[in-house]
Amino acid sequence: MNVIADWRENALQKVVRDPIHLDPRSTDGNLLGYTISDVFREAIRFGQADFDKPYRNLSGIDKARLYALLNQPGHLTELDEAFGQLFSAHSTICDPYVYDIGCGPFTAGLSLATALDQRHVITYHGIDLYESMRELGREIAQCAQDMNALSRYSTFNFYESLDDIEPPIGARINPKIFVASYLLASSTIEVEPLVKSIVNIADTFSRGPSLLLYTNTTHPLAGQKFPAFKEQLEEAGFRCPADDQTHIAHRNKTRSVHYALFYKPASF
């Protein structure tokens, strides 16, 4: 295991695993008093729960930690692969503005910090509907900074909506990286306003290029909004140089993943 992987594992151990496994409710192999099956099916509803709404004796932050324990590792594996390929193909990307839409507990932030070294200043914006996810994301991001895993000039902020983000002051040429990981699997996401908000940031927050990384399961229901999403982005000037399905190995299992990359050139 390399040094960067060490800090990530240590951060998740401190903020996610220890609070669950050392909790007096976690006994006899159960997680906070529930079987893994009950957690998946009832508490976090396979990642589509209302994470601010308590479930029996579980608080919102309990549910967010359970999600991070059970769902986040697989998503990290997928994003590590995607960012590794992205930065090897676009080695000139530096000091990006990052917009992690449906960020959960800082998942893409962790993967980005693993892919980029401390020379890069990351201006990270995590967007999630649920305060419990944003709260846990802040804890993990702060823990990563405390471990000196990131440039001390990197900043991390969390918002309920893309439209809550204020544009940076002054003329900028920083590249913008949008991450939409499993976002369209949510039944509550509306494609048209989402694309409108993305395009507004891409066109007005910086003159640098914009990249959007899309990942999702290959299940047909989860991907049914993707064609409209792709069409509207292309109408707004994004190109789609990569759109494919692949298989990723994770914990001796194979995950089927739909990857797509969208790109909009710099405007000068």
Q: Tell me how long the chain is.
A: 268
The radius of gyration of the chain from alpha carbons, rounded to an integer in Å, stands at 18
pLDDT digits (tens, 9 = 90+) for 55-112: 999 999 999 999 999 999 999 999 999 998 888 876 678 889 999 999 999 999 999 9
Of residues 100, 98, 114, 120, the one with CA closest to residue 9: 114
Is the confidence at residue 249, as pLDDT, over 90?
no
Q: For residue 265, give both structure tokens.
A: 């050139």
Please choose, from the candidates 61, 70, 72, 51, the residue with its C-alpha nearest in 3D space to the C-alpha of residue 23.
Answer: 61
Q: Count CA within 13 A, CB hemisphere, residue 77.
A: 16
All structural domains of the chain with their residue ranges: 3-70, 73-264
Using DSSP bridges, classify how beta strands 176-181 and 155-159 pair: parallel, antiparallel or unpaired: unpaired
Question: CB neighbours of 76 closer than 8 A, spacing ≥ 6?
Answer: 107, 110, 111
Reported as a pLDDT band with limits 50, 70 and 90, residue 2 is: very low
Rounded Cα–Cα distance for residues 212 and 232 (Å): 13
What pLDDT is attached to residue 214? 97
Sheet of strand 253-264: strand arrangement: 155-159, 123-127, 97-101, 176-181, 210-217, 253-264, 239-250
Q: 73-264: which CATH topology? A: Rossmann fold (3.40.50)
Is residue 145 pLDDT above 80, yes or no?
A: yes
**pTM exceeding the 0.85 threshold for the entire prediction:** yes
Query: Rounded to the nearest 5°, which phi and psi values hold at 188?
Result: -90, -10
